[in-house]
Structure 1
């Protein structure tokens, strides 16, 4: 096939409003699939990167790594997918495939050059990557996920980042029956953490700044809800949790939250603040606590997560928007004014 001209929304420069444009997708390589994108989620990391809050970006930038759509063409060597298959693409589209981590199915921790980001990156052939705020994308079949029939494409799209970002640490730290798990932050990531931890069988506590989201959190599966703006919360919950998953992308008083862990408890950070954090090491030493981080999941685990969500009958809580509202959506994300993930209807880009 010849290359595809895709309609897209791109940030032309750092901090500039996104605008409608066109991009060229590469010719299909032997193991590539062409995907007609149906929906793309808006992740807070899209905003961080478009505004160069995580370091220097590559512009024009087409964000988007929560992608759901349908295969429309396949390369000659493709064996995993066929035209018409419902598929997704997450945060990365390649890795070295040969290092210890890639061989173990942990491509997100690739040791040779790192994973190739779905956007704001350069692939291993030297071509710039563009993300899911576009009508089409071309991806190697080995980095494509199958979306189960039990999930509609719109609610499935955010699972490719928000879902796996929470599923991976909850699975790795063995959330389940008999475990007390706190999800810190009830937003695009946190709401998925509540749902997944509940489905795994853990006793789930939602921690959010105010009581504003209490009803939602309990509906999503939280057993308990506390406002972190209330100092009494920290005395009431001291030493309570086996696991805290911190989804907040802002600098917090880590010592205060670490005090909520039991002996041998772990706090796992998945939200990435723009600025550095600090802590008193005695918060760890005093109760053999751990402070860890986690980054999305590999292809195998992401597929496991999609199947888990379909089996339990849930996707993300979404608000679907047309592409011409992306800039408005960015501002609303920054104001925490979304319940709980914006998803772009890519059909609005085809008009």
Structure 2
């Protein structure tokens, strides 16, 4: 099948070019050409997250290979359903995208593309974050933003790895979602003092690990306060406005705390997560939309109206 020269794309216009929209749908966006070592991929589905909302950056898409560059074996890639981990995503949603073949992950045939797409971003980010905590079965792990696109994946992964999950979010719908996915307890931050609640649930000492997918300064302050001695905080939520974590050298030395950041994961971790998904241990809770609904999706994300993950279906 011949590759077209132009494509449909949702792009962020240059400053001053659009007074009415932060994202513009274009029907004449050029299709990129693969260079040496690259593959050209046609998107089927793409997730949309708060990072997209705040920075207007493309989420990791779901794709099918349609062309290859020099030095890439066509037989290994042509027609394969593949995905690209979040660190390789582009700054817009489009039909076609080029990626180095080395960063492309083949998607198991048992996974549908709409459910697989979130694994390449939210799923791998949370899987890698949980692995970075070095937690063991039976440990307490608190997840802030547990009912969101990132958090709901983390709840499932952590629970399947034998961790006791304290899911922190707001509202009855998110409580039901988190409990159904394996959370040990749901803590509504609008109703309780979540620092004291976490400590009370975790033997009075606090969580062994905290993963903060929220992006507010208060959420990060509370995350530090929830940790027990030798605990680990994984920073995932990207703030709109920079701020400093309230961590003193005294706290770090005496309590032996550890702070790490994470946004993606390794190829090995991606394969492990996909294996969990094939086994039915992890499944994205999605709301699917057409590409033309992108502005509505961004608005719903801003109002925190989406439980789980929003996914865009890219036109064929």
TM-score, normalising length from structure 2? 0.86
Could you tell me which of 167, 191, 202 is aligned with 2:163? 202
Question: Deviation of residue 151 (structure 1)?
Answer: 1.6
Per-residue deviation, 1:283: 4.8
- CA distance change for structure 1 residues 47 and 237 in 2, over 3 Å: closer, same or farther? closer
Alignment of 1:152-163 (within 5 A): 152-163=112-123
Find the partner of 2:54 among 48, 55, 66: 48
Determine whether 1:26 maps to 2:29. no
The number of residue pairs the alignment matches comes to 301
Equivalent pair of 1:248/1:271 in contact (CA under 8 Å): yes
SS in 2 for 1:244: strand
Q: Which secondary structure does the structure 2 equivalent of 1:154 belong to?
A: helix
Q: For 1:329 and 1:242, how far apart are their aligned partners in 2?
A: 35
Distance 1:68 1:177 in 2: 32
- Displacement, 1:188? 0.9
Contact 2:234 2:260 in 1 (8 A): yes
SS of residue matched to 1:41: strand
Structure-2 change in CA distance of 1:299 and 1:280 (3 Å)? closer
Deviations, residues 307-339 of structure 1 (Å, cap 9, x unaligned): 333234433211111111100110100111112
Q: Which residue of 2 aligns with 1:192?
A: 153
CA distance in 2, matches of 1:33, 1:236: 49
1:272 aligns with 2:272: no
CA distance in 2, matches of 1:308, 1:4: 38
1:180 aligns with 2:140: yes
The alignment status of 1:39 with 2:45, answered yes or no, reads yes
Instruction: Tell me the residue number matched to 2:202.
Output: none
> For structure 2, which runs of at least 5 residues remain unmatched after alignment?
200-204
Deviations 1:55-104 (A, max 9, x none): xxxxxxxx4232112222233422483222110013334xxxxxxxxxxx
Shift of 1:232: 4.2
- The alpha-carbon deviation at position 34 of structure 1 amounts to 1.9
Match of 1:322 in 2: 290
1:2 CA drift (Å): 7.5
RMSD: 2.3
Partner residue in 2 for 1:77:
71
1:248-327 matches, cutoff 5 A: 248-278=214-244, 279-281=246-248, 283-327=251-295
* 1:223 corresponds to 2:184: yes
Specify whether residues 234 and 65 from structure 1 end up closer, same or farther in structure 2 by C-alpha distance, changes over 3 A only. closer
Quote how far apart the aligned CAs of 1:173 are: 1.9
Following the alignment from structure 2 to structure 1, what is the Cα–Cα distance between the partners of residues 36 and 193? 60
User: What is the distance in 2 between the residues matched to 1:89 and 1:73?
Assistant: 16
Distance 1:11 1:90 in 2: 21
Runs of 4+ in structure 1 deviating by more than 6 angstroms, as ranges, are none
Normalising by structure 1, what TM-score?
A: 0.78
Map 1:8-27 to 2 at 5 A. 8-14=9-15, 16-21=21-26, 22-27=28-33
How big is the shift at 1:274?
1.2
**Are the structure 2 counterparts of residues 212 and 24 from structure 1 closer, same or farther at C-alpha, using a change threshold of 3 Å?**
same
Cα drift, residue 263 of structure 1: 1.3
